[in-house]
Chains A and B, each alone.
Chain A
């Protein structure tokens, strides 16, 4: 078992009076792919937004390699090495593809290195190079997802959070995205992703959490997930 990179302990986040997370504890091991499953409204996106600092938790602790980041500003968190690829991609629609990438490196000051990283993204995603001067709003869903991933990578994160990267994409594109996730992981980036597509996730993730109504109700390895009745029924569509 490798070292823990991200540790979330008893985190509660609320929207006004409604508590979306009711004390979530989980962790992501360094160098692995951890996957969070759960139905709509379970609190998956809330958890991602809380870790990234967009939402402030009411209580609990979030540490990256032992350093507390709960409640800190997003800027601080991205500088510490956590980047989020948000649900629905949220590219800057009226900025060019290249500007979107450079925006991802906003927290960095090394102009030469940033230029090299932009080039590296274009090499990894040749479609983005073709469209580098085009406004991001004109890209297809799959291209926008690749742009959102590249933008997050421009911050050079240790931990990449991904909120439903396959949402609304054609099956071939989904294959592509999962191949890329595996590549990034093989290059040393730890990945914590939310995914509805459990079949795809089973092929790449090392560890799973299931969250329901703001609480973690199950965690285990891919083998254990395949044996778990509630997951079989809800996510794998297997007849029991």
Chain B
């Protein structure tokens, strides 16, 4: 006799949570991007997820002109999103006085809406197909199965994260990024350029975001303008739940949201799941405002 909870077996839950965690890797990356830019600038870049998806759209656009193998599309998405990240830095941060954090924040909201409009206009608002890899593979153990494409999404996101951590902790550029984030005056005294470091951080964060954008398209099978806001919100929640400024926090937060939303999708349907994600955010803000790895207090 199988044990059932709310009409679903434990295996159903296990399957749902694993699928959610695999897809949650994309939220983790978006969360890392938010956290990383918050770390160096002490400001939120709300356009971040939009640049990630704009990168994916860019590679889709190239793909409509010349047929692209999926891996090439992903690389193009990453490069384009890195470029968009740099543009966001120039338009929303570089020339806005550092003492006006609200101005930068609102500028990034404007950028988010602008990119969204751009996407709607260039696709007539219609969802567009996006190539996946290994979507014909299914790994099966009895009744439990893993989708090959989701597994690939997860692995590529892990690789992107490892790459980022390598840059941050093993290169001079990463040292400058951390130094500027922690103590900008001392960083300059050591010969580091604050603006140079910040702009490079936007490019690198953008580039790994482009991978996440492409992976979102690949795992859903389509790119849609309706993705921008939910991905922004979930990436942001991943960063907040993990503790703004903490990369491990964003990773845990992203995977948690993936599992959480998929579970509520199973229990309550796709139309309701995002409400529960919001409730998760409220619960964290009420009971653990610093997040799981709470370092945000340092930025007070």
Contact = CB atoms under 8 A, between A and B. Distances in A.
Report if A and B associate in a common complex: yes
A228 interface: no
Nearest to A148: B186
A73 B176 CA distance: 16
Interface in A45-96: 52-54, 73-75, 78-79, 83-84, 86, 90-95
A31 to B, nearest CB: 23
Interface in B227-258: none
A151 interface: yes
A75 B193 contact: yes
A152 B178 contact: no
A86 B186 contact: yes
A84 B175 contact: no
A88 to B, nearest CB: 10
A155 interface: yes
A90 B187 CA distance: 9
A107 interface: yes
A86 B190 contact: no
Interface residues of B, number: 17
A83 B172 CA distance: 19
Nearest to A92: B182
Nearest to A49: B185
Interface in B73-95: none
Contacts of A107: 190-191
Given A92-B186, A93-B183, A106-B172, A155 B178 contact: no
Interface string A101-137: 0111011000000000000000000000000000000
Interface string B174-197: 011011001101111111110000
A219 interface: no
A177 B89 CA distance: 42
B193 A73 contact: yes
A106 B191 contact: yes
A102 B298 CA distance: 23
A95 B179 contact: yes
A111 to B, nearest CB: 10
B182 A84 contact: no
Contacts of B186: 86, 90-92, 151
Contact of A155 (B183, B190, B298): B190
A10 interface: no
Interface string A132-169: 00000000000000000001100100000000000000
A125 to B, nearest CB: 18
Contacts of B190: 78, 103-104, 106-107, 151, 155
Contacts of A155: 190-191
Nearest to B181: A94
B132 to A, nearest CB: 39
A226 interface: no
A75 B188 CA distance: 7
Nearest to B188: A74
Contacts of B175: 95, 99, 102-103, 106
A54 B193 contact: no
B182 A95 contact: yes
Given A92-B182, A106-B172, A79 B191 contact: yes
A90 B193 CA distance: 17
A53 B182 CA distance: 19
Interface in A181-204: none
Nearest to B172: A106
Interface of A: 52-54, 73-75, 78-79, 83-84, 86, 90-95, 99, 102-104, 106-107, 151-152, 155
Interface of B: 172, 175-176, 178-179, 182-183, 185-193, 298
Q: Shortest 6 CB-CB distances between A and B: which pairs?
A: A107-B191, A90-B186, A74-B188, A75-B191, A78-B191, A106-B190
19 contacts: A53-B188, A54-B185, A54-B188, A74-B189, A75-B193, A78-B189, A84-B189, A90-B186, A91-B186, A92-B179, A92-B187, A93-B183, A94-B182, A95-B179, A95-B182, A99-B175, A102-B175, A103-B187, A151-B190
Given A54-B185, A54-B189, 18 more contacts: A53-B188, A75-B188, A75-B191, A75-B192, A86-B185, A86-B186, A86-B189, A90-B183, A90-B185, A90-B189, A92-B183, A95-B178, A95-B182, A103-B175, A103-B187, A103-B190, A104-B190, A151-B190
